[in-house]
Chain A
Amino acid sequence: AQSVTQPDIHITVSEGASLELRCNYSYGATPYLFWYVQSPGQGLQLLLKYFSGDTLVQGIKGFEAEFKRSQSSFNLRKPSVHWSDAAEYFCAVGGSGTYKYIFGTGTRLKVLA
């Protein structure tokens, strides 16, 4: 079955600390992978995407993610978190032959001053 797992429902980090949000997927075809962020009162904003090529992708707001096919993972990282990064983060997978995205349940990030 196709699925996305975000094992951490909540994460709390201090401002300036590094961040890694985990995402594992199960998908039968070549995956297209995405990270979206939803800030309070806002919609879903695309942070970054992976279709093919370099497995380390850079996104907006200083975020990056690494695709590891052998581990079926697409973890999101940021070296130094800012208070404005407090939001909910969603990992999603799509693929060739389908327009349908499958989302994880989200990880809510809290940032301590």
Chain B
Amino acid sequence: EAGVTQFPSHSVIEKGQTVTLRCDPISGHDNLYWYRRVMGKEIKFLLHFVKESKQDESGMPNNRFLAERTGGTYSTLKVQPAELEDSGVYFCASSPRGLAGPQHFGDGTRLSIL
């Protein structure tokens, strides 16, 4: 089966611009997660979808970040306007229904804000 895919793999934008990251989870996985790793630090949870519903968005840094999962399939994470501190690697993960399933991660999107 295809794994979690993320697009783009790398994005370079200027401060103040808008960027949209996309994640396609493993087919049939109800749970979708976004995480972020700022350079040199730990990978931190941003939010969790079950199908199209946000279950936990406690890790979202501020209201410049907007995540959507229309139709319960792919998800987008939009940053508007981007700030320098938003640079990092954004990971998406998915898991099947239920808590026991481990999360399967994509390759990440490296976001660089100039």
Contacts and interface: CB of A to CB of B under 8 A. Distances in A.
Contact of A99 (B40, B56, B108): B56
A100 B56 contact: yes
B104 A105 contact: no
A58 to B, nearest CB: 15
Interface string B1-12: 001101000000
Contact of A34 (B42, B102, B107): B102
Contacts of B99: 32, 94, 96-99
Contact of A100 (B42, B45, B100, B102): B45
B6 to A, nearest CB: 8
Interface in A67-89: none
Contact of B105 (A4, A43, A94, A99): A43
B48 A90 contact: no
A54 B6 CA distance: 35
Interface residues of B, number: 29
Contacts of B35: 101, 103
Interface of A: 4, 32, 34, 36, 41-46, 49, 51, 90, 92, 94, 96-106
26 contacts: A4-B42, A32-B100, A34-B102, A36-B105, A43-B3, A43-B4, A43-B6, A43-B106, A44-B93, A44-B105, A44-B108, A49-B102, A51-B100, A90-B43, A98-B99, A99-B31, A99-B55, A101-B35, A101-B43, A101-B45, A103-B44, A104-B42, A105-B41, A105-B42, A106-B42, A106-B43
